[in-house]
Amino acid sequence: MRILFAGTGAAEGWPALFCECDVCMKARALRGKNIRTRSSIHIDEELKVDWPPDTYLHVLQYNLNLAKIKYLFITHSHYDHLHPDDLLMRQAPFAHMRSSNPLNIYGSQDVINCILKAVGEPSKIGLILKVLEPFETIKAGSFRIMSLPANHDPKQTCLLYLLESKGNVILYGHDSGWFPEEIWRRLESWRLDLVILDCTTGAFSSRGYHMGLKEVIEMRRQMLSKNMADKDTIFVATHFSHNGLLLHEELSSKLISEGIEAAYDGLTIEL
Ligand SMILES: [Zn+2]
Ligand SMILES: [Zn+2]
Ligand SMILES: [Zn+2]
């Protein structure tokens, strides 16, 4: 199984759209792994998590064929995770697809409402929408997925996803602050192969809404101590913001000594 981190930035990207702060200026000068588009992962061209406004850029950058994606899981309706208008391009004359396979989209009621508002009748563009409640388990192809309630925007239901396929278990853990107790209880019986965590606030500590380096490091330790993870579990921090102040090399050097990889656009992980 191949996991592609297509984007690894927070809502405003890095360099941020209109920003002239020191670390955005440095990212513009250094480029490379300091350039972060809005966050999403692809698993084997079959499953995708989140639909950011940079999806078209990702198609170009990684030579992706979105017609192959069967399952799209959306964490929440913040626009860096859900840009529903681009879904309208999945119909003639904008797209001429070789198969009539539908795209199955999963998310909270808030997410599904957002998509319906943008696309009108989903079946006309081959979309099948499914509302997920927290702690619901569903099957999608070879995947078994459990939704988990994030500690994020209290104005809507924000979900994290536990994805299991072919003996591998992946936790998609952002956007979220420190996990609520009910998530910890649910995860206790699992052994995770890949853990993807929110490190939006970088150098600054944060336990609500998002997390920073300190919390990501603490979360890994807690997962190890609860035997949800072991020495073979891969930890990846992502969704970085310029307001966290640390460029890629700084993030990477602080995290790697703690057994955590700092994601960058284009990172791939094989499980
Ligand atoms: Zn976000
Ligand atoms: Zn900036
Ligand atoms: Zn968010």
Distance CA 262, CA 246 (A): 11
Question: Taking the model in full, what pTM does it have?
Answer: 0.97
Q: Please tell me the number of the ligand nearest to residue 200's CA.
A: 1
Give 77 Cα–ligand 3 centroid separation in angstroms: 8
What is the pLDDT, as a whole number, of residue 259? 98
Distance CA 31, CA 202 (A): 19
What is the pLDDT, as a whole number, of residue 79? 96
What is the pLDDT, as a whole number, of residue 67? 96
**What are the chain's domains?**
2-270 (3.60.15.10)
Give 76 Cα–ligand 3 centroid separation in angstroms: 7
Distance CA 116, CA 139 (A): 23
Give 13 Cα–ligand 2 centroid separation in angstroms: 9
Tokens describing residue 244: 């966290």
Give 100 Cα–ligand 1 centroid separation in angstroms: 31
All residues at 6 or more sequence positions from 269 whose CB lies less than 8 Å from its CB, including other chains: 2, 3, 5, 194, 234, 236
Q: What letter represents residue 209's amino acid?
A: Y
User: Among residues of the chain, what percentage have pLDDT more than 90?
Assistant: 99
Find residue 72's DSSP bridge partners: 48, 105
Per-residue pLDDT of 226-261, as tens digits, reads 999 999 999 999 999 999 999 999 999 999 999 999
pLDDT grade for 28, boundaries at 50, 70 and 90: very high
Per-residue pLDDT of 94-150, as tens digits, reads 999 999 899 999 999 999 999 999 999 999 999 999 999 999 999 999 999 999 999
Q: Return the residue matching tokens 């910890």.
A: 184
pLDDT grade for 174, boundaries at 50, 70 and 90: very high
Q: Please tell me the number of the ligand nearest to residue 244's CA.
A: 2
